[in-house]
Amino acid sequence: MGVPNHGAGTEQGAEPAPGAGRAGAADTPACVGIVLAAGAGTRYGMPKVLAEDGAWLRAAVTALRDGGCDPIIVVLGATGPSPDIVDLPLGVRHVWAADWATGLGASFRAGLIAAADTAAGYAAIMPVDTPDVGADVVARVTAAAFAAPSGLARAVFHNTPGHPVVLAHRHWTTACKEAVGDSGARTYLSGKNDMVCVTCDDLATGNDRDYPASAAR
């Protein structure tokens, strides 16, 4: 059964055939990188995909790409279905989550639906608002997912779950079904005792940025 369609706007695809997603001679699993950037950024004051003239978006794309992910998909929402207002890095695909206002689950579903139209065997999920998470974190977490029998791994910073989250293809359909409201992968992963938690304290803070640096918090 393919990844279900729950309101993504464009670039929706069918589930890849079994065995797809292996990258040739090196036999390294192919991993699609997904940047969740659909929110309105109410507390920040603007959609975070536009924050610092797009610097956060570029940082997320670079982290995924240099961490070994290909292709890269950016999920848009509050900025509208056209990518014209967003300065997308070259070579990056976009998808619009038409129901973005219902919560994070909408952009998570839209990203995985678009990912199902690739040959990737894994997906690495990153929000746009963790700008200090770099390629070294992505590479460490994806390697852990590739090696794990469960095909599941996520970054952990100071005992707090963070991103990226990496899911093998076989998890995508059910994860989509369970992503509702503001729950992305959280509901699905909460019952997975075989998920690998990858400590990345030495590489980044993993902090998400909800407010401008000038705001007194």
d(C-alpha 91, C-alpha 183), whole Å: 29
The confidence band for 155, taking pLDDT boundaries of 50, 70 and 90, is: very high
- Per residue in 58-83, pLDDT (tens digit) is 999 999 999 999 999 999 999 999 99
What's the mean pLDDT in 32-45?
A: 93
Which of 41-50, 108-117, 127-136 is predicted least confidently?
41-50
Residue for token digits 């993993």?
206
Domains of the chain, residue spans: 29-199
15 in Cβ contact with 116 (< 8 Å): yes
- Per residue in 111-121, pLDDT (tens digit) is 999 999 999 99
Domain 29-199 has CATH 3.90.550.10: yes
109 in Cβ contact with 7 (< 8 Å): yes
Please give the structure tokens belonging to residue 136: 């070294």
Phi, psi of 199 (to 5 degrees): -70, 125
Name the residue among 128, 107, 12 with its Cα closest to residue 59: 128
**Cβ neighbour number for residue 33 with a 10 Å cutoff:** 30
Q: What's the pTM value of the predicted model, to 2 decimals?
A: 0.86
d(C-alpha 90, C-alpha 101), whole Å: 27
Q: Helix or strand or coil: residue 74?
A: strand
